[in-house]
Amino acid sequence: MRVPFKPVYLKKAYKKFMYIIIHDYSCKFGTLNKVDTKGISVQDVRNYNWIWYNEFELPYHFICEKIGQDFETVMCRPLSYYCEYEDIPSVYLPSVHIAIAGNYNVIAPEQRAYQQIGYRSIASIMRWFSIPISNIKMHWEVSADKTIHCPGDLFDKDKFLANIRSLILVKR
Ligand SMILES: [Zn+2]
């Protein structure tokens, strides 16, 4: 299955990105992929998003997921378009949205996942757009909907930020 190619329906990003917002699948696809397995879920999620939400593009710029033995980061929505969420205030519109595949209300992420998502996407985005570590937010932190637990309660923000700090302090 191929989702129709309709970039004209996406909101163009015209401001410099100021925040990075972290998700898992729980806020939009919690029923689909509870646990990240070794298979690829990006296309399943993309098709589900089209069929059930009638959306032409995924609501994340990147997804980090386990493929085979290791974690890979896949670009989904191009950075030239915003991701819009009804429950997130407009001040956060210039945000890069990054999801970790799976529902982390069910199972805790592996240390390797924190490391790979930090290394393969976040550290370089922070540097490129001059985004401070204090502007990395969890979806639940910025949502107006207090029932949102995204990423799930077992996603350890402190452990995640510790991995990122170790990457951004490296200077060569
Ligand atoms: Zn979310």
Let me know if residue 35 belongs to a domain: yes
Let me know if residue 1 belongs to a domain: no
User: What is residue 151's predicted lDDT score, i.e. its pLDDT?
Assistant: 96
Q: Which chain residues have CB less than 5 Å from ligand 1, an ion? A: 23, 27, 139, 150
32 and 45 Cβ atoms separated by less than 8 Å: yes
The CA 60 to ligand 1 mean position distance, Å, reads: 9
152 and 106 Cβ atoms separated by less than 8 Å: yes
Q: Is the pLDDT of residue 155 over 70?
A: yes
Number of domains the chain is built from: 1
User: What is residue 8's predicted lDDT score, i.e. its pLDDT?
Assistant: 85
The CA 131 to ligand 1 mean position distance, Å, reads: 20
The CA 80 to ligand 1 mean position distance, Å, reads: 20
DSSP assignment of the chain equals ------GGGSPBP-S---EEEEE-SHHHHTTT-SS--SS--HHHHHHHHHHHH--SS-S-SEEEEEETTEEEEEE-S-TTB----TTS-GGGSSEEEEEESS-TTTSPPPHHHHHHHIIIIIHHHHHHHT--GGGEEEHHHH-S-TT---S-TTS-HHHHHHHHHHHHT---
Let me know if residue 54 belongs to a domain: yes
The CA 137 to ligand 1 mean position distance, Å, reads: 11
Burial group, residue 127, by CB count within 10 angstroms (0-12, 13-18, 19+): exposed
CATH code of 158's domain: 3.40.80.10
Q: State the Cα–Cα distance between residues 34 and 32, nearest whole angstrom.
A: 6
Let me know if residue 4 belongs to a domain: no
Let me know if residue 64 belongs to a domain: yes
Tens digit of each residue's pLDDT (9 = 90 or more) over 84-114: 999 999 999 999 999 999 999 988 999 999 9
Let me know if residue 139 belongs to a domain: yes
The CA 167 to ligand 1 mean position distance, Å, reads: 24
Tens digit of each residue's pLDDT (9 = 90 or more) over 6-30: 888 899 999 999 999 999 999 998 8
The CA 22 to ligand 1 mean position distance, Å, reads: 7
Q: Is the pLDDT of residue 171 over 70?
A: no
Residues spanned by the domain of 128: 14-168
Let me know if residue 3 belongs to a domain: no
The CA 88 to ligand 1 mean position distance, Å, reads: 10
Q: pLDDT confidence of 172, banded at 50, 70, 90?
A: low
Tens digit of each residue's pLDDT (9 = 90 or more) over 36-87: 777 778 888 999 999 999 999 999 999 999 999 999 999 999 999 999 999 9
Let me know if residue 114 belongs to a domain: yes
